[in-house]
Amino acid sequence: MNIRLILLIFETALMKLRHIIIIAIFVLINVGVFMTLNFGGNKTEEDTKEEVKFVQSVEAQAIENTTENFSFEAYGTVSSFQSVDISSEIQGKLIQGKKDLKPGVTFRKGELLFRFNDVEARLNIRSRKSAYINIIANMLPDIKVDFPSEFDKWNDYINSIKLNESIPQLPSWKSNKEKIFISTRNVLTEYFAIKGLEEQLKKFYVRAPFSGVVTMAYVSEHSVINPGTKVLTLVATGDFELAVSVPVSQLGDLEIGSTSKIYSSTGRLKGEGKVVRISEVINKSTQSVDVYIKPIPNENEKFIEGEYIKVAIDQAGEFTGCRIPEISIFDNQVYTYSKADSSISIKKVMVLNENSSGVFVSGLNNKDIVITQEVLNVSDSSKYEVVIK
């Protein structure tokens, strides 16, 4: 009996231990699941907090409005204000002056460019003068009888005529009777014929109408040329103008007298200028208008015919606004930053001018903070840290 009791007690204890083990395992499993769920929930909350606290750093500029005079760039070439094609007015053999008739040769105003052999023309004038002297000499006896008071005048006149000099001016007559008398003797006809030959003789010598340089030569020395033959092209030096093309949209900012700065193709400042003419004809292909500028070179600078230049033309009037980087603007709008809530909003602006320093706009207030870099995925909940430069 004692052994059976002991076995019964042992079985009862073993069953209780088994129950306790099962309960313990169940409790441990539940505790593990609970801790796992609780840990995951805390991680999500922390991630959410980190997401909310994320701040993007952007560059910005504090606005200070100023007043500016604008200029816009245009390009063109230097051309001589005076350019002329010199042609022959007579027929003959061309003889150059002291300088060659070649491109690049310079001449001063009044200097001989070229001439023609004038021996025959001079002999012809002398022949006509001799006949003229003979006419006056034959009428002197009649003058002495009919116009005794005028005899000394005509006698002195005939003595003043020199074969190698220009014919002297005719004496003035004191009555219609005297005028008719000298006319019937062909004095007037011969006088004006000789004057015409003398004027023709001047065309045998062609001089520079202004100081300039030869850009084209079409004939050479000893060539026999006819009237109307083009001999050379002469352009004035030191008297230039600049022709630049300006878009039609910018014509409203121009006026006669507008000033400008003139630069070489390498960017060197060469001088200043003023607008002297504005064409009224629009180039159909480029929708631009030619504007002509009178240049004034700086000291030790000079302009050259055909030189390619850049001109910064001052626009009429003054403008108020600020200059910001081009990247700040999109569709005539900018992003502005609010210090109150660290958010970004959009503001419209008007572009007034662009140059190498940036874009000049109006529509912003003093102390506005404009974002000066590209910002992506802007939303009302986005927060930003702004670095003002």
β-strands 240-247, 224-225 pairing: unpaired
pLDDT, tens digit (0-9, with 9 covering 90-100), for 189-212: 999 999 999 999 999 999 999 888
Domain final residue, candidates 285, 314, 343: 314
Query: Does the residue 105 lie in any domain?
Result: no
Q: How many domains is the chain built from?
A: 4
Residue 279 lies in a domain: yes
pLDDT tier at 161, thresholds 50, 70, 90: very high
Cβ atoms of residues 346 and 371 within 8 Å: no
Percent of the chain scoring above 70 in pLDDT: 85
In a domain? residue 131: yes
What type of residue is 176?
Answer: N
pLDDT given at position 338: 84
The CATH number covering residue 310 comes to 2.40.30.170
Antiparallel, parallel or unpaired: β 56-62 and 384-388: parallel
Residue 126: inside a domain, yes or no?
A: yes
Given a cut of 70, is residue 51 above it in pLDDT? no
Lowest model confidence (mean pLDDT) among 61-65, 185-189, 376-380:
376-380
List pLDDT tens digits, range 250-291. Answer: 777 788 888 889 999 888 999 999 999 998 888 888 788 888
Q: With respect to residue 111, please indicate whether it lies within any of the assigned structural domains.
A: no
In the predicted structure, residue 168 carries a pLDDT above the cut 90: yes
335 and 379 share one domain: yes
150 lies in some domain: yes
Q: Are residues 343 and 302 in the same domain?
A: no
| Digit-coded pLDDT (tens) for 313-356 | 887 667 889 999 988 888 889 999 888 877 788 899 988 877 77
Instruction: Give the residue-averaged pLDDT of 138-166.
Output: 90
Give the pLDDT confidence score for residue 49 in this predicted structure: 44
Q: Indicate if the alpha-carbon torsion angle 366, 367, 373, 374 is positive or negative.
A: negative
Say yes or no: 157 and 194 in one domain: yes
Of residues 199 and 373, the one with the higher pLDDT is 199
Q: Is the pLDDT of residue 137 over 90?
A: yes
Higher pLDDT, 10 or 352: 352
Check whether residue 123 and residue 198 sit in a common domain: yes
User: Of the candidates 283, 314, 345, which is a domain's last residue?
Assistant: 314
Would you say residue 182 has pLDDT above 50?
A: yes
My answer on whether 250 and 273 are in the same domain is: yes
Give, in order, the Cα–Cα distances in Å from 165 to each of 129, 136, 155, 157, 192: 10, 18, 18, 14, 15
Residue 97 is assigned to a structural domain of this protein: no
Rounded to an integer, what distance in angstroms lies between the CA atom of residue 276 and that of residue 317?
18
Give residues with Cβ within 8 angstroms of 154, minimum separation 6.
Answer: 136, 139, 140, 143, 171
Q: Which of 147, 177, 202 is a domain's end point?
A: 202
For residue 335, the cross-strand partners are 346
Q: Could you report the per-residue pLDDT of 100-111, keeping only the tens digit for each? A: 889 989 899 999
| Shared-domain flag, residues 351 and 305 | no
Output Rg (C-alpha) for the chain, integer angstroms: 51
Tokens of 374: 């590209």
Mean pLDDT of the chain, nearest integer: 83
> From CA 297, how far away is CA 37, in angstroms rounded?
85
**Model pTM above 0.85:** no
Dihedral sign from CA coordinates of 110, 113, 118, 124: negative
Structural domain includes residue 363: yes
| Domain limits for position 264 | 72-76+238-314
pLDDT band for position 52 (50/70/90)?
very low
What is the CATH classification number for the domain harbouring 343? 2.40.420.20
Determine the Cα–Cα distance for residues 140 and 146; give it in Å rounded to an integer.
10
